[in-house]
Amino acid sequence: MKASKSAQEKLLALQALDSSLIQLEHKANNLPVAKILDEKTIAHASARDLCVAAETEKSDIKHELSKSEVDVEQVVSRIERDEKRLASGLGTPKELEQLQHELGSLAKRRAELEEIELEVMVRIEALDQRISSLSQERDALQEEVIKFSREKEAALEEITRAKNTTIGERNALAAEIEPELLAVYEKIRASADGIGAARLHAGQCQGCHLTINAADLSRITSLPDDDVVRCEECRRILVRI
Ligand SMILES: [Zn+2]
């Protein structure tokens, strides 16, 4: 295959642009900010779930509290009723004695219930603190998620701009290269890690980095300038400069 020296040199310039595009693609897929964003998104979801769980627990305990409040009220109203009856002095001494006994038990029951009520209130207070710190954490993470999303978007936009510029340059350059040579380049590129053409530098193919033996090297360098040479090892187009 024949191609002018300048066409072969253009192919190397095209390769540089295509390699830049590969690097930009790699950069877009491996943004450090994307990794941070993923971590923050997971942390935010976890804080949000914990917050919901704490809210649910609180509402269950509040239900428990209103139940124990009703229990206390019932005991208090029984105490009041018994005290009234006792104050009225109506009834047999035995009945009055029974009333006093019942009042004693009721007072004990009231103290027990009030203690339960207090415990529940302490639990609610602890939950309130937990909910407050969790919701603060959740909101702070939400802000970070928004911030890093914007940073990621901006970084991707910048890469897209750079890619578009490079694509414009590479298409303009490709239009200057003979279609036949370009087709071979594209074919190799598709099967050789995106590198279709490499420079011959210091006796080495810059595509596979293998040193070409002296005999082959002297044969290659003695070929006419417009001969398109392929690396024996990696089959890439070897451009002699
Ligand atoms: Zn090679």
pLDDT digits (tens, 9 = 90+) for 171-197: 999 999 999 999 999 999 999 999 999
Ligand 1 mean position to 232 CA, how many Å?
Answer: 7
Ligand 1 mean position to 204 CA, how many Å?
Answer: 8
Confidence band, pLDDT 50/70/90 cuts, at residue 90: confident
**Which residues have a beta carbon within 5 Å of ligand 1, which is an ion?**
205, 207-208, 231, 233-234
At 201, list the tokens.
């530098």
Q: What are phi and psi of 204, to 5 degrees?
A: -125, 140
At 94, list the tokens.
């035995």
**Overall average pLDDT of the 80-105 stretch:** 92
**Alpha-carbon distance values, 183 to 91, 142, 196 (Å):** 116, 50, 10
Ligand 1 mean position to 231 CA, how many Å?
Answer: 5
Ligand 1 mean position to 211 CA, how many Å?
Answer: 9
Residue with tokens 């072969």: 8
> What would be the CATH architecture of the domain defined by 31-154?
Orthogonal Bundle (1.10)
pLDDT surpasses 90 at 83: yes
* Residues β-bridged to residue 197: 237
Residue 213, SS3 per DSSP: coil
Ligand 1 mean position to 197 CA, how many Å?
Answer: 9
Confidence band, pLDDT 50/70/90 cuts, at residue 217: very high
Ligand 1 mean position to 210 CA, how many Å?
Answer: 6
Ligand 1 mean position to 236 CA, how many Å?
Answer: 6
Ligand 1 mean position to 5 CA, how many Å?
Answer: 19
pLDDT surpasses 90 at 154: yes
pLDDT surpasses 90 at 143: yes
- The 3 state secondary structure assigned to 167-193 is HHHHHHHHCCCCHHHHHHHHHHHHHCC
Ligand 1 mean position to 235 CA, how many Å?
Answer: 6
pLDDT score at 89: 86
Ligand 1 mean position to 101 CA, how many Å?
Answer: 105
Q: Cα(238)–Cα(207) distance, rounded to whole angstroms?
A: 8
Ligand 1 mean position to 189 CA, how many Å?
Answer: 12
**Overall average pLDDT of the 129-138 stretch:** 97
Ligand 1 mean position to 208 CA, how many Å?
Answer: 4
Q: Which of 17, 39, 30, 41 is nearest to 156 (CA)?
A: 30
Question: To which H or E segment does residue 44 belong?
Answer: helix 32-88
Q: At what angle do helices 93-174 and 32-88 cross, to 10 degrees?
A: 170
pLDDT score at 77: 97
pLDDT digits (tens, 9 = 90+) for 7-66: 999 999 999 999 999 999 999 999 999 999 999 999 999 999 999 999 999 999 999 899
**Overall average pLDDT of the 137-146 stretch:** 98
pTM metric for this prediction: 0.76
Ligand 1 mean position to 218 CA, how many Å?
Answer: 16
Domain ranges of the chain: 5-23+178-240, 31-154
**Overall average pLDDT of the 144-170 stretch:** 98
Ligand 1 mean position to 170 CA, how many Å?
Answer: 23
Ligand 1 mean position to 27 CA, how many Å?
Answer: 26
